[in-house]
Amino acid sequence: MNLTYKEMKQQYTALRKTFDYLSAKREELKAFFKANVHESLTYIGCGSSLCLCQSAEMTAKVRMGISSTALAAGDLMLNHKDYCKLLEKTMIVALSRSGSTSEVIQAIEKIKEYKNLPVLAITCVTESPLKKLSNLTLELPWAFDESVCQTRAIVNFYTANLLIAAYLSDDAELEGAIDKAIEAGETYMAKYEDHIKLIAEGNWTNAVILADGEMEGIATEAALAMIEIAKIPGSFYHLLDLRHGPMVLVNKDTLVIACLNDKGFKYQKDLIKDIVARGAKVIVYSSMPIETMDGVSLHVTSNIAMDNAVSGIPFIFISQALACYRALKDGINPDNPDGLAAWIRL
**Per-residue pLDDT tens for 163-184?**
999 999 999 999 999 999 999 9
Closest C-alpha to 160, from 124, 111, 113? 124
**How far is Cα 194 from Cα 214, in angstroms, rounded to an integer?**
28
**How far is Cα 145 from Cα 152, in angstroms, rounded to an integer?**
6
User: Tens digit of pLDDT for each residue in 214-241?
Assistant: 999 999 999 999 999 999 999 999 999 9
Closest C-alpha to 221, from 2, 310, 229? 229
This prediction has a pTM of 0.95
Query: Are 10 and 109 within one domain?
Result: yes
| pLDDT for position 2 | 86
Query: Are 138 and 262 within one domain?
Result: no
Looking at residue 278, the DSSP 8-state letter turns out to be T
Tell me the average pLDDT across 43-52: 96
Helix, strand or coil for residue 61?
helix
Q: Judge whether 100 and 343 are in contact, CB under 8 Å.
A: yes
In CATH, what number is assigned to the domain containing residue 84? 3.40.50.10490
Cβ neighbours of residue 28 closer than 8 Å, sequence gap 6 or more: 136
Tell me the average pLDDT across 65-79: 97
User: Tens digit of pLDDT for each residue in 244-264?
Assistant: 999 999 999 999 999 999 889
Closest C-alpha to 199, from 312, 288, 296? 296
- Asked whether residue 44 carries a pLDDT value surpassing 90, the answer given is yes
Single-letter amino acid, residue 245: G
Sign of the torsion angle spanned by Cα atoms 9, 12, 13, 17: positive
| pLDDT for position 11 | 97
Query: Are 194 and 160 within one domain?
Result: no
Tell me the average pLDDT across 9-30: 98
Strand ranges (DSSP E) for the chain?
Answer: 40-45, 67-72, 90-96, 119-123, 136-139, 206-210, 234-237, 254-259, 281-286, 298-301
Q: Judge whether 212 and 231 are in contact, CB under 8 Å.
A: no
| pLDDT for position 344 | 55
Closest C-alpha to 154, from 286, 29, 14, 24? 14
pLDDT band (50, 70, 90) for residue 312: very high
Among candidate residues 139, 171, 203, the one where a domain is terminated? 171
| pLDDT for position 339 | 58
Query: Are 160 and 189 within one domain?
Result: no
How many domains does the chain contain in total? 2
Q: Which structural domain, as residue segments, surrounds residue 261?
A: 184-329
Cβ neighbours of residue 31 closer than 8 Å, sequence gap 6 or more: none
| pLDDT for position 38 | 86
| Number of residues that make up the chain | 346
User: Tens digit of pLDDT for each residue in 257-301?
Assistant: 999 998 899 999 999 999 999 999 999 999 999 999 999 999 999
Mean residue pLDDT of the chain comes to: 95
Ramachandran angles phi, psi of 95, nearest 5°: -110, 130
In a domain, 178, yes or no: no
More confident residue, 274 or 336: 274
Query: Are 34 and 148 within one domain?
Result: yes
In a domain, 283, yes or no: yes
Query: Are 208 and 145 within one domain?
Result: no
- Asked whether residue 93 carries a pLDDT value surpassing 70, the answer given is yes
| pLDDT-above-90 percentage for the chain | 91
Q: Judge whether 90 and 40 are in contact, CB under 8 Å.
A: yes
- Asked whether residue 338 carries a pLDDT value surpassing 90, the answer given is no
| pLDDT for position 149 | 86
Ramachandran angles phi, psi of 145, nearest 5°: -100, 125
In a domain, 176, yes or no: no
**How far is Cα 160 from Cα 165, in angstroms, rounded to an integer?**
9
Query: Are 140 and 208 within one domain?
Result: no
**How far is Cα 208 from Cα 53, in angstroms, rounded to an integer?**
21
Single-letter amino acid, residue 346: L
In a domain, 167, yes or no: yes
Angle separating helix axes 152-168 and 48-64, nearest 10 degrees:
20
Query: Are 127 and 207 within one domain?
Result: no
